[in-house]
Structure 1
Amino acid sequence: MSFGDPNNPYGPPQGQQPGYPQGQQPGYPQAPQPGYGYPQGAPQGQPGYGYPQAPQGVPPQQGYGYPQQPGGYPGGPAAPRVASMGRRFGARLIDGVAFGIIYFILAAIGVAGSVGAAQDCDPAAADYNTCINDASSSIVASFGAVIGVLAVVGLLYEWLMTGLVGATLGKMALGMRVVKVDTGQKPGLGSAFIRWIIPMVGSFACGIGQLLVYLSPFWDKSGRQQGWHDKAASTMVIQN
């Protein structure tokens, strides 16, 4: 019996090697066919692996970088400009000059009244010395009253302006304002009072404590140049 014999009904068809399917040659592996390896059916041109893709029609979300902080303050991508110490010193100087003018006017009124009272004393009168002493006491009392008035005015000025407006006249003139660190909003009366009272307590030690409070932003490591009074009130000073 011979292969390829047309008279042999059990042999392979003529032209085909025995023992192998048609189209396959002996000794060589068959080429891989589709359906193996990577999954089929993925849309062409679309990545099937790696980072997950956002659904079509949905805008990309901000998922990387620094977390967005309320008001965009330090730590966020829209951090404001922190006010320099030079500007802050200039604002204090402007406010101090304004208070100096008020103090001078009030003191001049008190002294003028006391001097007028001393001029009314009659040198020939028996109670002349008593009259002069009373006039001198009046001058001292006038200065004391002026200092008391200025203390009250200073409290109301610094406290109310910072809490309700966010800036004193000096800060307004130099384009600065005080804000809450976490929200960027005005401090409010509570935080403004804390911010005011801390340097005032320091002023009782011959003003040394107050000076240290106002210089403390130089030692702040947060990048916000917060003084001790700012940290206690959770505030910071920024440029507009």
Structure 2
Amino acid sequence: MSFGSPQNPYGQPQDPQQGYGQPQQPGYPQAPQGVPPQYGYPQGDGVPPQGYGYPQQPGYGYPQQPGFGHPGGPGPRQASMGRRFGARAIDFAIMFVVYLVVVGGGIASFASSAQDCDPASTTYETCMNDASSGMVSTIVPIALMFGIATLLYEWLMVGLVGATLGKLAVGIRVLRADTGQKPGLLKSFVRWIIPTAAGYVSCGLGQVLVYLSPFWDNSGRLQGWHDKAAGTLVVHKN
């Protein structure tokens, strides 16, 4: 009476696909016929199954690293509000000098036109009307030129360089929150237009609130309302 071969000592039927007399694969015992291999039976040469009771996705059960721009995540750290205010003060001083140059040119042009009005050859009312028209024709171009200069300075430098002269001076820059790259012209324009438009609310109080809004950011990334709308971050340059 035979109790089976050394390869099959208990007389269990072998898998017909494996062939008679062929040794079974080393490792864990094979699942009985009719039982799905994922129910607790290892597959192959002792390799744990990818089925019941085992995680499918890599890294299962391990905490994920925070993404770019989040506290503790990869990439530069967020710029402090002190540096941001310092950069804003420098930019304001630069634009104030530009404003003085533009206004000085406008005033000189207006004074020259006012001297052309001779009360001896015309009435006082005519001179006043001419002066008012000259004032309007001087103020409007000044406002337009200053607005364009502010737009080009903030928009182009942040979009293409990632920082204004003030930000470069204090060592901070503006990046995209999702990729860490330069904002580009579209995001930079959104970031500029929001505080600019808010400046027309309550005599400039709206613009001040926009620049103070990073204090109320609960995400820990010090994003202002204009940063959230544009999807940008202000970070240290190094």
Question: Normalised by the size of structure 1, how large is the TM-score?
Answer: 0.68
Alpha-carbon distance, 1:128 to partner? 4.8
CA contact (8 A) 2:190 2:230 kept: yes
Q: Give a deviation string over 1:137-160, Cα, whole Å, max 9, x none.
A: 313321221111111121122111
2:198 is aligned with 1:202: yes
Q: Which amino acid aligns with 1:229?
A: H
How does 1:134-173 map onto structure 2 within 5 Å?
134-173=130-169
Q: Residue in 1 aligned with 2:171?
A: 175
SS of the residue 1:236 aligns to: strand
SS of the residue 2:200 aligns to: coil
Instruction: Report the Cα distance in structure 2 between the residues aligned to 1:223 and 1:121, rounded to whole angstroms.
Output: 62
Q: Which runs of 5+ in 2 are unaligned?
A: 1-26, 28-47, 49-57
Q: Which amino acid aligns with 2:215?
A: F
Q: Residue in 1 aligned with 2:92?
A: 96
Alpha-carbon distance, 1:127 to partner? 3.5
Alpha-carbon distance, 1:121 to partner? 2.1
2:214 is aligned with 1:217: yes
SS of the residue 1:226 aligns to: coil
Q: Give a deviation string over 1:174-194, Cα, whole Å, max 9, x none.
A: 111000112111011111111
Instruction: Report the Cα distance in structure 1 between the residues aligned to 2:66 and 2:223, rounded to whole angstroms.
Output: 21
Instruction: Report the Cα distance in structure 1 between the residues aligned to 2:91 and 2:130, rounded to whole angstroms.
Output: 35
Q: Residue in 1 aligned with 2:55?
A: none
Instruction: Report the Cα distance in structure 2 between the residues aligned to 1:208 and 1:94, rounded to whole angstroms.
Output: 20
Q: Residue in 1 aligned with 2:188?
A: 192
Q: Residue in 2 aligned with 1:67?
A: 65
Q: Give a deviation string over 1:3-59, Cα, whole Å, max 9, x none.
A: xxxxxxxxxxxxxxxxxxxxxxxxxxxxxxxxxxxx9xxxxxxxxxxxx9xxxxxxx
How does 1:25-174 map onto structure 2 within 5 Å?
66-67=64-65, 69=67, 72-74=68-70, 77-174=73-170
- Mark the CA change 1:62 to 1:175 in structure 2 (over 3 Å): closer, same or farther: farther
Q: Residue in 2 aligned with 1:232?
A: 229
Alpha-carbon distance, 1:74 to partner? 1.9
Larger radius of gyration: 1
CA contact (8 A) 1:121 1:132 kept: no
SS of the residue 1:94 aligns to: helix
Instruction: Report the Cα distance in structure 1 between the residues aligned to 2:73 and 2:205, rounded to whole angstroms.
Output: 38
Q: Residue in 2 aligned with 1:42?
A: none
Aligned-CA RMSD value: 2.4
Identity %: 53
Instruction: Report the Cα distance in structure 2 between the residues aligned to 1:114 and 1:204, rounded to whole angstroms.
Output: 27
Alpha-carbon distance, 1:113 to partner? 1.5
Alpha-carbon distance, 1:62 to partner? 9.3
Runs of 4+ in 1 over 3 A off after TM superposition: 61-66, 75-79
Alpha-carbon distance, 1:132 to partner? 4.1
- Mark the CA change 1:178 to 1:140 in structure 2 (over 3 Å): closer, same or farther: same
